[in-house]
Structure 1
Amino acid sequence: MRTYVLTVFAKNGDKLLDESFTAENDNEAKKVGEARLAEEGYSEHTHRCVSPEAKLILFHR
């Protein structure tokens, strides 16, 4: 399992969500990240999800 980090930002730059989770691969991580954003109501906020190598898996501005 690999550890990914999901971060959501407010318009003023404050972090609204900053958490890590594990997934088997980038595709699974993208699904988990999207589900977590929807669950918290942050889908339209600025967010990013990065892999252990700092590769962007999800990004919205």
Structure 2
Amino acid sequence: MRTYALTVFAQSGEKLLDESFTATSDDEAKSIGQARLEETGYQEYTHRCVTPEAKLILFHR
């Protein structure tokens, strides 16, 4: 399992969500990140999900 980071920002730059979660692959992490964004209603806010190596796997501006 690897630890991924999901961060959501308001237009002002304030962090609205900053959390970590584990997944077995980048594809699984992308799905988990998208589901979490839908749960919180943040899918249209600026967000990113990164791997432990800081590779972007999910991004919206």
Structure 1 stretches of 4+ moved >6 Å: none
Instruction: In structure 2, give the amino acid aligned to 1:56.
Output: L
Superposition RMSD in Å: 0.2
Superposition deviation, residue 6 in structure 1:
0.1
Aligned: 1:42 with 2:42: yes
Q: TM-score, normalised by structure 1?
A: 0.99
Residue matched to 2:23 = 23
Structure 2 CA distance for aligned equivalents of residues 9 and 57 of structure 1: 17
Name the count of aligned residue pairs: 61
Superposition deviation, residue 43 in structure 1:
0.3
Secondary structure, in 3 states, of the residue corresponding to 2:31?
helix
Percent of matched pairs sharing the same residue: 75
